[in-house]
Structure 1
Amino acid sequence: MSTPIIFLTLFAALLHACWNALLRGGADRLWSMTIMCMAIALSCAVFALFLPFPAVASVTYVVLSGVLHVGYNLCLIRSYQTGELGQAYPIARGSSPLMVTCGAAIFAGENVDIDTLLGIGLISGGIMILAIRGRRLAARGLTYPLATGAFIAAYSVVDGIGVRLSGNSYSYTVWMRMLWGALMPALYITLRDAKSLLRWRPGIVMTAAGGLVSLLAYGMIIYAMMAAPMGAVSALRETSVLFAAVLGYLFLGEKLTLRKMLACTVIASGKLMIG
């Protein structure tokens, strides 16, 4: 992997941690997530004008992925209501490849090599370090991050199939994210009302920018995967769990303990082994 691609991937990891920190720091996280998704949808609608429509065979996966992303959003919001960024984010990001790997072995008969087993062990150990408080397992802080990881694993599998059927990975991504972005305001209005969504609030520009940052980070990763091995890029991207711990300390008043940094490092190392 070339040095520019390494720095690009690390920057994408930082951006991913940044928009999560912005969401975690918001007073109304459902509103913040909805505004981010609306910004993503509007941006993707512009990009869609210059791209071909994805193949019909992939449309079902576009819809299913959009719905799964909404579930991911809701679980992520609840994760940040019950836990710190430096705890919830690593558990959610770390548990998803763990679930995908185990699911592939159980349901698809894929072989698991020794490196992957070591990676699974490291990720599990890191999650346990974050989850144990004193001598107790902090189950309350585990439920929603693990559910978030399950949604990440589910939409990753769906997207992995859908993008191969689409005929154009960019078209698939743009339409999926546009649908995802459109579903969130519909859900918000159902749960609350349209008036509170559309009312101007302090920080709305920064929140919308967070959505664009999310889209930019994803685009950087796609570009990096075109120029370098996907496994290496995916693994390097998971340094975002370390960035999240530092951002939580710098901007959200979270404690940056040795235990937390150790757990994040162990999780990132485990993902590197799987990658």
Structure 2
Amino acid sequence: MEGTALAELLLAGLGGLDEQQRVAGAALLDTLLVPDDGPLDLDGWTDRVLELLWRARGRPTDPVGEEVAALAAAGRAAGSLTAHGTAALLPARYAAARRRTALALTARSLPALLPQALADLTWVHRRLTQAELDARSRRVELDPAAARALREVTGVVRPLLQPDPRPPFVPEGAAALLREAQRRTCLGCGAPLRAGHDVVPLLPRLRLPLDSVAGLVAVCAPCARSRGTALPSLRVVWAWHRRPEPPDLPEPWEQERVAGALVAVVAALPAGVPLWAGRSTSDRSTGSEGDRLRALLAPA
């Protein structure tokens, strides 16, 4: 199926989705951004749903929403304000909640989100059991060509599924730690940073909201004002990549996760798209940014 036809099919179905299904759909697109053409990992998809619902305004009042609320409360009590931080602090509690949530999402939301052209879901039903999911290795086989087409239309469909106007999550004390890691200079333009500087997401939240500390950058006020929703230029990404991990962070760093998301989103860029290069300046994409970014971020 061509990307345009798939986009039309997905957009036609948006009106019938409830709030939880919209979040689950956004998480599905995020999960499929990694271009390995393999099966959909239902637990990995659920991880992303939990992250998106973690700080959502007005979580759905259903079993999934209640599961997230209980898990978030446990995370706060343990000292974490994010899903990934809670998974690190309370692995058994998190794994059990994820398992229950994956079952609920698969039974209730997946058939409404995946067109028949993408996957055979005839085995999914409302009374689905954990044993049935386990028998399928908790995965769904996807048509590779359709999955690639879906990635092509993610930039159009995702903001309609889950607009995310919230500011980025900045753990207490992280702004100062990021400033020191950047040698007290703005990551956008290199100007000196003073106390009270801004913190913005490297990857715009409208494109792919992540609650990873590594995805935050300390910038001066002019760079923050010019940030917008453009993806970062390769120069900005290189400066970000060279920044060391600060010590004593209150939440997981997750540099590799942010790098993978960057590569996936940038790889879909056509030529001629403005890229944020700091302050009021911008570069233009050439259409080869994905390959260049992979080379740039490859381990030494």
Q: TM-score, normalised by structure 1?
A: 0.25
Structure with greater strand percent: 2
Tell which has more relative contact order, 1 or 2 (C-alpha 8 A, sep 6+).
Answer: 1
Rg (Cα) greater in structure: 2
